[in-house]
Amino acid sequence: MGPQLQNAIRDALRASTDLQTLIGSPVPVYDRVGTNTVPPYITIGDEQINDDGNSCEDAFEVFADVHVWARDVEGHTVRGKAFAKEIGKPIIDSLSSELVIDDYTITVGLLDTARYFTEPDGVTAHGVLTFRYLIEPE
């Protein structure tokens, strides 16, 4: 597999009107973040790709991490980790639905785990959402 799943994740997040409302349009989704980037934003993290095929067909089980970074925003009533969780909800909704990826079919797409914590700086909330996908070549 190439970058198809990562591209589909990025596109689905940028298309989310709920995320646009919460953190701006275009939705700030990054693969790499610049040093001056200020939360809230989303980063696409690591992927683990496991062979899930058999002697008759190819298939892959993919675990994909999406990170939420949030700080208190003036005028927004939700603060801290609760703000990160508020951002996490439309991410879960967007990425648990059917994604379209080039050259592959997703047969399963769902949230595997979600963890929210405060970064050592004491002001940045961080969420790590791990999604599990079963993917077959077309």
Indicate which CATH number applies to the domain containing 15: 3.30.2000.30
CA-wise closest residue to 89 among 17, 42, 19: 19
pTM for this model (two decimals): 0.90
Kindly give the confidence (pLDDT) of every residue in the chain, 138 residues in length, as a single tens digit, with 9 standing for 90 and above: 679 999 999 999 999 999 999 999 999 999 999 889 989 999 999 999 988 777 667 889 999 999 999 987 666 656 789 999 999 999 999 999 778 898 888 989 999 999 999 999 888 999 999 999 999 988
User: Please, are residues 1 and 135 in contact by the beta-carbon 8 Å criterion?
Assistant: yes
- For residue 64, give its domain range: 4-137
Give me 66's structure tokens.
């999406």
Instruction: Enumerate the H helices of 1-138 as residue ranges.
Output: 4-15, 17-23, 80-95
Domain count, the chain: 1
